[in-house]
Chains A and B, each alone.
Chain A
Amino acid sequence: MAIAEPTIESPAPPLVTRLHGWVTTVDHKRIGLMYLMMSLFFLVLGGLEVIWIRMQLWSANNTLVEADTFNQLFTMHGTTMIFFVVMPMIAGFANYLIPLMIGARDVAFPRLNAFGFWMSLFGGMILYLSYFTGEALYGAGSAPDVGWFAYAPLTSPAYSRGSSVDYWILATLVSGVGTLTFAINLIATIVSMRAPGMAIGKLPLFVWMMLVDAWLIVFAFPPFTAAQVMLLMDRHLGAHFFDTQAGGSAILWQHLFWFFGHPEVYIMALPAFGIISEVVPVFSRKVIFGHTTLAMSTTAIGFISMGVWAHHMFTVGLNDGLDAFFSAASFLIAVPTGIKIFNWTATLYGGRLRLHTPMLFALGFLSMFLIGGLTGVMLAAVPVDWQVSDSYFLVAHFHYVLFGGSLFALMAGLYYWYPKATGRMLDETWGKWHFWLQLIGFNLTFAPMHISGLMGMPRRVYTYQAGQGWEIWNQISTVGGFVMGAGFAVMFVNLLWSLQRGRIAGDDPWDAWTLEWATSSPPASYNFETIPIVRSRRPLWDKKHPEDPDWIHE
């Protein structure tokens, strides 16, 4: 059915008024969009940093940047991508969608939700403020250069003069508080504000996975926050928590950091799983295969992910018993993850596939995440980890998981829900260009790193000697980086162009089944004129197919 272009009845309010509206908003949808805009902004910064990294590694003995600058680049890239790109993007999707998906008018704590967003944004600003500071505490001011994991004792005043490490601590501390408030609000919203009839077992999978995700945040972030406060005390108040010269323990920092850091990997992965669990069935025209096992495996991942942190520390020299335990736990987490892959594949099987851009990204996720998962299983074996830890093999592995996994899925979500948020469709042709450039560029960038890593190239080196066989792989990676950059440029053009000129989407452009598609596009501030009553996991299917509703089967 043709949908008429909306008519403009009154002139738009002045820019200042509109900006004021955004700054003061407590509407979960606007906050979600601000999270997404923040994420895309920092994506550009993180992308520019990595382009510099790749250009520096183009050839042996390159002098494009100095060693110190290179350290800053990879530190800022890692910190930015994890804390200020992927996390805000997840928060953006969750904020925008979850109240809509559970049939709620709002979130449980709208003001706290807004506070969480601003904390995240200011955290990012604090991080990048470090580039503009001059003289500071110890007479030096620059961007952090200690890695996104900031290992002790490198972060102590003795080894990190100036305030660069302080900026890293404060930025992640502030944004971490924001993330925590986001999670608390999310849990309260999902637990207490579901539409009538929506039992926990009837939650859309994205919502269920975000619920587990929020609990992971609640458990993982406070220890990290505590560790950061301890580090600040070391640096400013003369404490010695991590000062090995004065009886402190550098390993304690690693335990505290990775107790947060590994769940963080799953905090970034679970929302991706949720998005895939929404996209794949809609574009296969089938019910998700094994809703229950998907939900249960998510819970299992949540539990197990809290008990694998020391696999990041196999090379520290812990005792064999600990290594064995964490190795076994790391192997074990592959089981629920494998169940998910199987379920998504089974959903695809026999479906009437519609290869629109969201589905392409979902399929890209499935294949790339599978590769990342398999190298993860390899790394769970202690001897393998000993061989390739801190090499480019590891860099390849976690990029296949976090980029090939999380970011591909988030792109699927972006193309899938953009029509709901803006009322307009993203351009399919540009979307496909974006997908293929990103997929090809991604594999060109990161697949060779497996090889250079196995050939012995250490991570974090700012240059290397000629004749080691690493040059060609680095050059392929660099070309891939530029191809990916082109893909993202296409995405930005598409986002902006479609905002004004995209095809009008209508309420339900994908013929989908969850409640967010029962509202207008974009939804009114109160989401629903009438709170829906839910009888099954696919409330819209029930309405579209009264002859064959889900509720008689569940």
Chain B
Amino acid sequence: MSEVNEESESIGMPAPTAWPMVSAAGVALAAVGIATNPFISVAGVMVLMVAIGGWLRELTPGRGEIEETWVPVDQRAREVVASSRRVAQPRAGLPGNRSHFPERVHTYASGVVGGLLGGGVMAGTAMLYGVVSGRGIWYPINMLAGIVLTRFDDVSKLELERFSVTAFIIASLLHLTASALVGLFFEIVLPTLPKSPVFWGGVVAPLMWTGVVYASIGILNPLMSEHIVWSWFIASQFAYGLTMGIYVVNAKKVPASHIEGASTADGRDHESQS
């Protein structure tokens, strides 16, 4: 591209050329010939060769560029000037123009760690059920793995009570990932919720989650739907929610800018309608 010369009346720009279109037409003809008649392909290749030659000539020095004259001054863009609109001052409870909402947040790490801790307590609760019910600690783990392991769909209860390396790995991955992500999600949405976060994390979320699972478990995990004991399921959800909620709420808060990587607003809001 040419250098800009403010003194000149024009600027060098690429010249219009038909060769790209002719080249594409050559390729298209060559392609169509495959489905119709080889002679069309031959013609297409010949067109393509001619077009490539023409295209290459466009690239030689002194060709392929034209001088575009500057458009008249009255058709040019107007100079961007300072706006008459004021940048509105902040109002209580509303975020500023470039502020982060909220100003102070829990770290992502606290959400993940809280989620993992909650997941640990939840797993303990589920395994306690396995012990109390006499089915063993691997029973809930195998049922969780049934989300992925389709071979568990038609095994006996006895097999579900046995240890399986694959099921253990898959269930652990699922459980740890879900626990960490739910904790992270909770940490992110926590500032947007009304007061009493432990209530949200420890009571509302487990009830909602249990409702969702109750409604969809038949499709999501047919194996679990047959064997699930809802009282224990809800207990393990509460164990997760309370542990994670308490941990996250008590974790140290940092300015949102530490996470976002930019400074928080100094109190300026969006533009007012002036």
Binding site for B on A (CB under 8 A): 6, 21, 23-27, 105-106, 110-112, 114-115, 118-119, 121-123, 125-126, 129, 133, 136-137, 163, 166-167, 170, 173-174, 177-178, 232, 236, 284-287, 289-293, 320-321, 323-324, 327-328, 331-332, 335, 338, 342, 346, 349-352, 378, 381-384, 386-388, 506-508, 511, 518-520, 523-526, 529-531, 540, 543-548, 550, 553-554
Contacts and interface: CB of A to CB of B under 8 A. Distances in A.
B210 interface: no
A547 B88 CA distance: 12
B58 interface: yes
Contact of B34 (A26, A125, A232): A232
Nearest to B31: A170
B192 to A, nearest CB: 8
A418 B130 CA distance: 63
Contacts of A292: 260-262
A388 B1 CA distance: 55
Interface in B149-183: 149-151, 153, 166, 170, 173-174, 177, 181
B35 A293 contact: no
Nearest to A387: B219
Interface residues of B, number: 73
Interface in B1-37: 1, 4, 6, 11, 13-21, 23-25, 27-28, 31-32, 34-36
Contacts of A118: 20-21, 23-25
Nearest to B263: A553
Contacts of B273: 352
B119 to A, nearest CB: 15
Given A26-B14, A114-B21, A382-B150, A137 B35 contact: yes
A531 B219 contact: no
A173 B27 CA distance: 11
A163 B35 contact: yes
A383 B219 contact: yes
Nearest to B37: A136
B254 to A, nearest CB: 15
* CB-based closest 10 A-B pairs: A118-B24, A122-B28, A115-B20, A114-B20, A24-B16, A166-B35, A285-B270, A544-B83, A163-B35, A170-B31
A525 B68 contact: yes
15 contacts: A110-B14, A125-B28, A163-B35, A174-B27, A287-B97, A289-B100, A289-B101, A293-B260, A349-B101, A350-B94, A352-B272, A383-B220, A543-B80, A545-B87, A548-B268
B78 interface: yes
B271 A26 contact: no
Contact of A111 (B17, B34, B36, B71): B17
A343 B147 CA distance: 31
B227 interface: no
A527 B36 CA distance: 44
B195 interface: no
Contacts of A550: 98
B24 A119 contact: yes
B82 interface: yes
B208 interface: no
Contacts of A350: 94-95, 101, 270
Given A387-B219, A529-B76, 14 more contacts: A26-B14, A105-B13, A174-B28, A232-B34, A286-B270, A320-B150, A323-B148, A350-B94, A351-B270, A520-B75, A526-B13, A543-B81, A553-B263, A553-B265
Nearest to B256: A290
Interface of B: 1, 4, 6, 11, 13-21, 23-25, 27-28, 31-32, 34-36, 55, 58, 68, 70-71, 75-78, 80-83, 87, 94-95, 97-98, 100-101, 146-151, 153, 166, 170, 173-174, 177, 181, 185, 188, 216, 219-222, 260-263, 265, 268, 270-273
A177 B101 CA distance: 45
Given A119-B24, A382-B148, A26 B98 contact: no
A370 to B, nearest CB: 15
A126 B32 contact: yes
Nearest to A296: B261
Contact of A327 (B31, B83, B97, B148): B148
Nearest to B166: A320
Nearest to B75: A520
Given A289-B101, A530-B6, A331 B177 contact: yes
B262 A546 contact: no
A529 B24 contact: no
Contact of A524 (B27, B76, B101, B146): B76
A170 B34 contact: yes
Contacts of B87: 545, 547-548
B68 A526 contact: yes
Contacts of B150: 320, 323, 382-383, 386
A545 B262 CA distance: 19
B80 A320 contact: no
A119 B220 CA distance: 45
A381 B147 contact: yes
